[in-house]
Chains A and B, each alone.
Chain A
Amino acid sequence: MFNKESGQINVKEAETIIGPSIKVKGNFHGQGNIIIEGMVEGSIKTDKFLLIGDKSKITANIEAKDAKIGGEVNGNINISGYLEINASAKISGEIKASQISVARGAELNGQLIMNKNSEALSSQKKA
């Protein structure tokens, strides 16, 4: 989905791309990978991967399987799998994830809950 080393976005598997000049208001629910480089107000939900770019501004509750966050997020984040937080991220809200990595320089304000059960549940469902 994205090149971890260079941080470049690969649009190949993205069902939705919200560009930098775009502001989305409302309940934005998708079933595929989502790339956000613009602004979102409301809620974001996807069963797959969510990438929030460095310059994006999100005022929304977020639900996704896996996510990489580099921008500003005001809202609760619920990730059933792996959450990667970049150095440029500014997050205000509760964070739930099964696995997490936080880069040096990231700003986090809120409760962090490691939710090991959700990962186990999702792997049980797959089996």
Chain B
Amino acid sequence: MHIYIYDTYVSQKKNNSTIIKIETRITDLGLNGKIVRLSMLSSLFEVVQNEIKKGAKTITVVGNNNILHNAINALAKLKSQNIIQKTIPLGFIPVGKVNNSIAFNLGLSLEESACDTISARRIKTFDLGQANDHYFLTEAIIGSRGTSVNIDQNYSIEILGVGEIGVVNLPILSELPKEAGSNAEDGILELFIKTTENNKFLPFPNKNMKQSIFSFTELTIQNKTKKVLLDKTFEINTPVKISIAPVKIDLIVGKSLKF
């Protein structure tokens, strides 16, 4: 049974015509199923859990990065609690161009065109990063100022320049060089540090960006004021322990997958 879960903003009036087109295309492709419209008070985790108990075979979320991140977390938590024992692929239909950067890199077109990808059912299994008790598919990011990083309890990293620290599982949001060989299938996370050179005589940072790359199995990030941003949607307080999650996620991806 196909389950379609709509994010809250998708049910707004301005999206009516888009939703009609999506639902028509789903019907044409013979992928009809149950539609669940999230409200401000409903919990995506509970919806996913209930639908899986009722026998859902595919969960498809309709919305943006936010609902995709939450659905990945819901499925990963259910897997880690052994509530899910079979493979339940996660499909995604992106609606609107705002906050939908992950969809593009998964090879998904916007709105009704994404229904064809769901129909093709090209499933790929990805590693997930785990930050405390949250999961992320792409990256965990924090500013470098005041941040300390301890890797594998062997060494610590102090960042002297101004910039950004990213823990990368799927390198789709940062400008991680392809040579770093980062992908979400190798069971390894990469720490990517992007800094500008400090020049005390200039009021603005030097544009000459410097990059550092480390591979690791576990690290701890600490910052007294800043939070770690997961998948560009969800913030968590430090200290954050990050490692590869013991569970993986099965995603329905497009032909033009970017990695």
The interface of chain A, by Cβ under 8 A from chain B, is: 11-12, 14-30, 32, 37-38, 42
Contacts and interface: CB of A to CB of B under 8 A. Distances in A.
Nearest to B150: A26
Contacts of B213: 11, 14-17
Chain A, interface SS category: strand
Nearest to A10: B179
Contacts of A26: 154-156
B143 interface: no
B159 A22 contact: yes
Contacts of B215: 15-16, 30, 32
A24 B214 CA distance: 11
Contacts of A25: 155-156, 158
A21 B198 CA distance: 8
Interface residues of B, number: 22
B179 to A, nearest CB: 5
Given A21-B160, A24-B156, 10 more contacts: A16-B213, A16-B215, A17-B213, A19-B195, A21-B161, A21-B163, A22-B157, A27-B155, A28-B154, A42-B155
A27 B179 CA distance: 25
A22 B197 CA distance: 11
Given A11-B177, A14-B213, A16-B215, A22 B160 contact: yes
Given A11-B177, A22-B193, A17 B156 contact: no
B146 to A, nearest CB: 14
Given A11-B177, A11-B179, A12-B179, A19 B211 contact: yes
Chain B, interface SS category: strand
Q: Which of A14, A16, A19 has the most CB of B within 10 A?
A: A19
13 contacts: A11-B180, A11-B213, A14-B179, A15-B215, A17-B211, A17-B213, A18-B214, A20-B161, A20-B210, A22-B158, A23-B159, A24-B156, A26-B154
Contact of A18 (B161, B179, B212): B212
Contact of A21 (B155, B156, B197, B214): B197
Q: Which of B177, B193, B211, B212 has the most CB of A within 10 A?
A: B212
Nearest to B156: A25
Contact of B159 (A11, A21, A29, A42): A21
B214 A19 contact: no
A19 B210 contact: yes
Contacts of A28: 154-155
Contacts of B195: 19, 21-22
A24 B26 CA distance: 53
B161 A27 contact: no
A111 B163 CA distance: 41
